[in-house]
Amino acid sequence: MITLASDCLVFEMAGGQSIPFSAEMISVELTGDEAGVFDPEFIKHASNAVFHYFKHGLGRHTITVGEFAGALEKVLRGFNFDAALPDLPPPQPRVIESDLRRLADESGNGCELFFFHRLRDELRLQLEQEPQLVRFRGLRGCVKQLAGARRWCARCQTLHEQIVDYLRNCLTLESARKNCALLVD
């Protein structure tokens, strides 16, 4: 009987053959989504680590190709694929915007009751698109338009706070299970 070299493992192939391999003899080729994610040198080191795990960590002398492939796949999946793809831009948050001045125009001059109803409808419409950020812009101009003021006054400040509070409350009620932020400027 021939003794196995100390740096080899016997791989049992699917066809029933048993072939001894050292860590350096193993060649790994990835297919599918992971094919271009990892550098070949990285894959070689990961393969050597899996080989070392079975040989020295578990004290195994024989292993099936399926066991080795499954362990290597688990190791590679443990690494963050996004970190291995530096040339991909980070995903942009979904931002949905509305103009508060436009909503004030659509509600009619000085009609706060219609405005708040229209504001809630607009928020619901935005939330149907499942954004990460809901932005309402033009708050200062909207407030002055609704208050009928040319300059900022105490009435404007009160209406400003009412609009922001109303939007916060509506967002809390409408998006109870959604992860969505609110920006009012």
In this structure, is residue 44 part of a structural domain?
yes
In this structure, is residue 179 part of a structural domain?
yes
In this structure, is residue 88 part of a structural domain?
no
Domain that holds residue 30: 8-77
Q: Are residues 119 and 170 in the same domain?
A: yes
Compute the C-alpha angle 137/98/105, nearest 5°: 85
Q: What is the pLDDT of residues 88-101, one digit of tens each?
A: 555 666 888 999 99
The number of folded domains in the chain is 2
Q: Are 51 and 41 in contact (CB under 8 A)?
A: no
Q: Are residues 115 and 153 in the same domain?
A: yes
Q: Are residues 99 and 177 in the same domain?
A: yes
Q: Provide the pLDDT confidence category of residue 121 given band limits of 50, 70 and 90.
A: very high
Q: What is the pLDDT of residues 162-181, one digit of tens each?
A: 999 999 998 888 766 567 88
Q: Are residues 110 and 47 in the same domain?
A: no
Q: Provide the pLDDT confidence category of residue 83 given band limits of 50, 70 and 90.
A: very low
**Strand 133-137 to 95-99 pairing:** parallel
Whole-model pTM above 0.75? no
